[in-house]
Amino acid sequence: MKQRIDALSKNIEDFHHSSMVFEEARKHDIRRIGDLSAVVDGVREKQEKYLVSQESLETRARRFEENIQKIFSEEGDRREELDFWMQQQQSRLLDFERTWKDWQKRFEEFDERAVKINERIETYQETYFSMKQVGQEMTLLMDKLERRITEIAEIQRLSQDKLKKELNVFLLMIRSAGTPSN
């Protein structure tokens, strides 16, 4: 009888130890889920910042495109005026050459501006595509993170179910050990 009591006492101690281990694991899992939730919130905030930044870039791009269209329109007008002026000034060749040199300088400045504008367009395109790629990567990371959280929650649920089953088995063993055998 004393051996049975000692065995039951040992079983109770083992169960108590197991339940404490499971409780610690559950607390650790809860902390990890909390940490993951904080990370998810941080990622969402970054994604919102990127969206705001992207909208700002798109607004700037629209303004930039409007300015380019205005410049091209003004350039067309300027070229028409230049042709008319050149027809009137053919008789004054010396004045025309001096004026032409001046206009040539302006053309170079315009070409430099056009090169700079093209560089800005390319920079915008690179930025836009990198932002788009970052947004896609953020979406993928969010999906992975949500899957991991779901997996952890499922693991925790399974652990709790297993612990309940072991407790029921243990309680049945105690009950059956407590009833006299015939």
DSSP string, 41-106: HHHHHHHHHHHHHHHHHHHHHHHHHHHHHHHHHHHHHHHHHHHHHHHHTTT-HHHHHHHHHHHHHH
> SS3 for 179?
coil
pLDDT digits (tens, 9 = 90+) for 55-77: 888 899 899 999 999 998 998 89
Domain boundaries, given as residue ranges, for the chain = 2-178
- Residues of the chain with pLDDT below 50 are 182
Closest CA to 152 of 111, 109, 160: 160
CB 4 within 8 A of CB 177: yes
CB 22 within 8 A of CB 159: yes
- The predicted structure's pLDDT at residue 42: 87
- The predicted structure's pLDDT at residue 87: 72
> SS3 for 138?
helix
- The predicted structure's pLDDT at residue 182: 45
